[in-house]
Amino acid sequence: MGIHDGKVVIVTGGALGIGGGASRAFAEEGARVLVADIDPDAGHQTVDEITAAGGQAAFVQADFSVPADPRRVVEQSVTQFGGVDFVFNNVGIQPRNSYRNAEDTTEEIWDAILSINLKSYWLMAKYAIPVMRDRGGGVIVNNASVQGQQSAPLVPAYAASKGGVLSLTRQLALDYARQNIRVLAVCPGSIDTPLMRNAISGETGEEPGDMDAAVTDAGARSPIGRIGTPADIANVVVFLCSDRASFMTGEFVNVDGGVMAQGAWADLGRAG
């Protein structure tokens, strides 16, 4: 028995990284999972792993920079699984060539990041909400970031997209609370995924000699002292979708090893 037996969840960007972890975690809790991703090889592999472990999942290829695809994904969920109970809006990009100030950011980079990281979240909500309402309710969890609250240098489009995700979360929560549709956000800190490994090179412009050491080092800077895993985020998302979180909506949860609890001056007081 899982806490999501019989439920249907769509995970956008559900093949790799945090999305892959969430697809597995929902399946372990009994949900039927629609893995929506641009990468068919990784998507089919995730579905195969879930199925081999006794879970239920299907893959749909989708490019969330294309405005028609969210609607198609929701329709696929209705056709294949009979509806949608939860959406984990997770897809997100932070391309290496996007580490630039506002002057050097091109419209192409801005539009690519905003369309995938923010517009697709609204479009998924737009098409999934009527289906959820017909079933008596549902939950949308949006993947934001600690960078939606505080920033780092040279990520104007990414930071704007994540701040937008937090605002959209509050707005949807207010507009749909009385329809039994809860809307929440998670704000991951550094999580060991392909995107995070890309970001390490993006910041410096070059690949570190030892990527594993660079990842371990990034983790060591958090109060908890380790890098996060996709499962760390997935466990929280699974909880937020459950009835155990039934009085939560319009809220975001930092899952960051304590990073957001720490003041910028914290290192200054550390001896040695």
Ligand X SMILES: NC(=O)c1ccc[n+]([C@@H]2O[C@H](COP(=O)([O-])OP(=O)(O)OC[C@H]3O[C@@H](n4cnc5c(N)ncnc54)[C@H](O)[C@@H]3O)[C@@H](O)[C@H]2O)c1
Q: Catalytic residues, which ones?
A: 158
Nearer to ligand X, 145 or 249 (CB): 145
Contact partners, residue 98, CB within 8 Å, separation at least 6: 105, 109, 113, 155, 157, 158, 202
Binding flag, residue 259, ligand X (CB under 6 A): no
Binding flag, residue 38, ligand X (CB under 6 A): yes
| Residue 17 in tokens | 């990284």
How far is CA 230 from each of CA 15, 156, 194, 221, rounded to the nearest angstrom? 12, 25, 11, 18
How far is CA 70 from each of CA 33, 61, 122, rounded to the nearest angstrom? 16, 11, 9
| Residue 18 in tokens | 């945090």
Q: Which stretch binds ligand X (CB under 6 A): 8-16, 51-59, 166-174, 241-249?
A: 8-16
Nearer to ligand X, 151 or 179 (CB): 151
Name the CA dihedral angle for 235, 122, 129, 195, rounded to a multiple of 10 degrees: -20
Nearer to ligand X, 42 or 141 (CB): 42
Binding flag, residue 62, ligand X (CB under 6 A): yes
| Residue 2 in tokens | 């899982």
**Minimum Å distance from CB 111 to ligand X?**
12
Cα 73 to Cα 76: distance, rounded to the nearest angstrom: 5
**Minimum Å distance from CB 177 to ligand X?**
24
Cα 183 to Cα 143: distance, rounded to the nearest angstrom: 11
Binding flag, residue 145, ligand X (CB under 6 A): yes
* Side chain identity at residue 47, one-letter code: V
Q: Strands 86-89, 56-61: parallel, antiparallel or unpaired by DSSP?
A: unpaired
**Minimum Å distance from CB 105 to ligand X?**
17
Return the residue of 2, 3, 30, 39 that touches ligand X, per CB under 6 A. 39
DSSP string, 115-130: IIIIIHHHHHHHHHHH
Binding flag, residue 232, ligand X (CB under 6 A): no
**Minimum Å distance from CB 10 to ligand X?**
12
Nearer to ligand X, 178 or 186 (CB): 186
Cα 18 to Cα 195: distance, rounded to the nearest angstrom: 10
Binding flag, residue 29, ligand X (CB under 6 A): no
Binding flag, residue 13, ligand X (CB under 6 A): yes
Binding flag, residue 109, ligand X (CB under 6 A): no
Binding flag, residue 194, ligand X (CB under 6 A): yes
Q: State in Å, rounded, how far the first CA of the chain is from the last one.
A: 50
**Minimum Å distance from CB 254 to ligand X?**
10
Q: Which stretch binds ligand X (CB under 6 A): 91-99, 177-185, 234-242, 257-265?
A: 91-99
SS3 (DSSP) at 216: helix
Residues that bind ligand X (CB under 6 A): 13, 15-19, 37-39, 42, 62-65, 90-93, 116-117, 143, 145, 188, 190-191, 193-196
